Amino acid sequence: MNNTKGRSGLADRAAATHAETTQWSRESAVAFVIDAVESTGAATRNDFDIDRIVTTAHDLADDWDLQMLTPDTFWRIAAGCIRY
């Protein structure tokens, strides 16, 4: 039996806040990534290769719901996609 009580990962929060019928797509993943990278105000979408972040995160998560990734994993991917 898989007991998830006490876990505080992004997947648990996403499952609690999104209905089963939510349809994730590449477009929703792009919007999520743009929102995440611009959320601190320190960078804009132009500072990152957004398509590469989305593709890499999708390959890793095997899902368009990128909120399933831990924040550390997401930011590790994003850090590798900074435009110079």
User: What's the pLDDT tens digit per position in 8-18?
Assistant: 444 454 455 44
Task: Specify the pLDDT at position 53.
Answer: 98
Task: Specify the pLDDT at position 22.
Answer: 67
pTM of the model: 0.73
Task: Specify the pLDDT at position 40.
Answer: 85
The three-state (H, E, C) secondary structure of the chain, written as one string = CCCCCCCCCHHHHHHHHCCCCCCCCHHHHHHHHHHHHHCCCCCCHHHECHHHHHHHHHHHHCCCCHHHCCHHHHHHHHHCCECC
Task: Specify the pLDDT at position 7.
Answer: 41
